[in-house]
Amino acid sequence: MDTSVSLSAKRRDANARAQELKERIDDYSKVSATIPTGSNVRSRIEAQKNRILEFLGGKDEDWNDWKWQLKNRITEPAVLANIIGLSRQELEEIKATGAKFRWALSPYYASLIDPSDHNCPARLQSVPRVKEILDETGTLDPMAEELTSPVEGITRRYPDRLIINVTNQCAMYCRHCQRRRNIGETDKNTSRKCLSQCLDYIRNNPEIRDVLLTGGDALLLDNSTIDWLLAELDAIPTVEIKRLGTRTPVTMPQRITPELCGILERHHPVFVNTQFNHPLEITKEAAEACVLLAGAGVPLGNQAVLLAGINDSAHVMKKLNQELLKIRVRPYYIFHAKNVQGTMHFVTSIETGLEIMDKLRGYTSGLAVPTYVINAPHGYGKTPILPDYLLWLTPEQGVIRTWENRILSYPNQRAK
């Protein structure tokens, strides 16, 4: 047999297959550069930043101070109007919506909003709309968290892990928030007395090995309280890992300081889960915050929420996940939006989520493919929702569907 001819034929077939694979992502390649990211619209964000600083009377050093960002959260429609421009009707709608559902956004996050685009993904997530108060279908507590709280401050939905709700405060009150019922009109951290009772519950239930600190936003606690709470959990021998739920890398990345990272580093294993929902949110500041956390040995996961008009597109979701990997954040979950009162305009169909997953698996790195989950009603936990890849299974064989929709049989035989 002529080996050179055989190798030549194989190379020809391999190149034909490579071309076929290339064509499979032609649609994404054509639009990828048009999807706004924090990098490719940097000049616009910088211009907005300077405009906001001038209006608020701040300086560059103020912008980089998380306490200044928190103190200067935008909560008045008139202030927002000066920053992004609002019509009289929009002003009235914000006032009416704000009377029922609290809102606030950091100056930093406001700089991401494109004033010329009413469908800007940052705007849709941060600026109240009248749709919120017209919603009569959602419920305030669709996951029945108030019925899965064995003691004040704790939510428990699983056998070996639980949540401690440490604060109701956030850098920004996202318009799709699942816990808007807890926000209230004033910021309130959970008291030390209540936190101590939560710790006692964990001590008395040794099957709890994983504790998630959330709220609100866990990183809106001061450094000393975070340090104390993590140290108390460290002292419980049955607690194996601690997790913090925070959106500050997205909405106020200035909160991620070397001092904070030093505290987290002292209490490993500590994991941080955040929530980037659109590649626009992956800015220079957000990247620096995530690199700081990763440098402190903190594994980072992203829990995106599938939101109509924001990321309900396979191309946008793919771009988001690829950009996340570049800043050392692992896409972890895509949450189907919950049926929370005031947020139903964000809810997509389940089919939309499945279509997105079908366009991720095989079309990009497995590292960029999170798990699509629905939170079951009544507090019964996260349920993975997957496209059908296993079509048929017998003791002898399985029939599978590949990411390219090829239907193939596969032997189902146990080794003897």
**Domains: count for the chain:** 3
Q: Let me know whether 379 and 395 are in one domain.
A: no
Q: How far apart are CA 309 and CA 255, in angstroms?
A: 28
Q: Let me know whether 210 and 310 are in one domain.
A: yes
Q: Let me know whether 294 and 309 are in one domain.
A: yes
Q: Is residue 103's pLDDT more than 70? A: yes
Q: Let me know whether 282 and 214 are in one domain.
A: yes
* 316 and 278 Cβ atoms separated by less than 8 Å: yes
The pLDDT tens digits of the residues spanning 235-294 come to 999 999 999 999 999 999 999 999 999 999 999 999 999 999 999 999 999 999 999 999
Q: Let me know whether 106 and 158 are in one domain.
A: no
Q: Is residue 3's pLDDT more than 70? A: no
Task: Tell me what the mean pLDDT of segment 91-112 comes to.
Answer: 96
Q: Let me know whether 374 and 399 are in one domain.
A: no
The pLDDT tens digits of the residues spanning 191-243 come to 999 999 999 999 999 999 999 999 899 999 999 999 999 999 999 999 999 99
Q: How far apart are CA 295 and CA 39, in angstroms?
A: 22
Q: Let me know whether 283 and 217 are in one domain.
A: yes
Residue 290 is assigned to a structural domain of this protein: yes
pLDDT-derived band of residue 182, with 50, 70 and 90 as boundaries?
Answer: confident
Residue 27 is assigned to a structural domain of this protein: no
pTM of the model: 0.94
Residue-number span of the structural domain to which 60 is assigned: 42-119
Residue 25 is assigned to a structural domain of this protein: no
Task: Tell me what the mean pLDDT of segment 50-75 comes to.
Answer: 97
Q: Let me know whether 217 and 352 are in one domain.
A: yes
Amino acid symbol at 44: R
Give φ, ψ of 342 to 5 degrees.
90, -5
Q: How far apart are CA 69 and CA 84, in angstroms?
A: 17
Q: What is the CATH number of the domain that holds 250?
A: 3.20.20.70
Tell me the percentage of the chain whose pLDDT exceeds 70: 98
Q: How far apart are CA 392 and CA 61, in angstroms?
A: 61
Q: Let me know whether 190 and 267 are in one domain.
A: yes
Residue 16 is assigned to a structural domain of this protein: no
Q: What is the pLDDT of residue 185?
A: 67
Burial class (CB in 10 A: 0-12, 13-18, 19+), 137: exposed
Residue 320 is assigned to a structural domain of this protein: yes
Q: Tell me the β-bridge partners of 303.
A: 333
Tokens of 383: 């349920």
Residue 51 is assigned to a structural domain of this protein: yes
Q: What is the pLDDT of residue 369?
A: 98
Q: Is residue 110's pLDDT more than 60? A: yes
Q: Let me know whether 191 and 321 are in one domain.
A: yes
Q: What is the pLDDT of residue 5?
A: 66
Higher per-residue pLDDT: 94 or 4: 94
The alpha carbon of 365 is separated from its chain's Cα centroid by a whole number of angstroms, namely 19
Residue 4 is assigned to a structural domain of this protein: no
Q: How far apart are CA 54 and CA 132, in angstroms?
A: 31
Amino acid symbol at 43: S
Q: Tell me the β-bridge partners of 336.
A: 306
* Tokens 């998630």, located at residue: 212
Q: Let me know whether 232 and 181 are in one domain.
A: yes
Q: Let me know whether 113 and 229 are in one domain.
A: no
Residue 88 is assigned to a structural domain of this protein: yes
SS3 state at 392:
strand
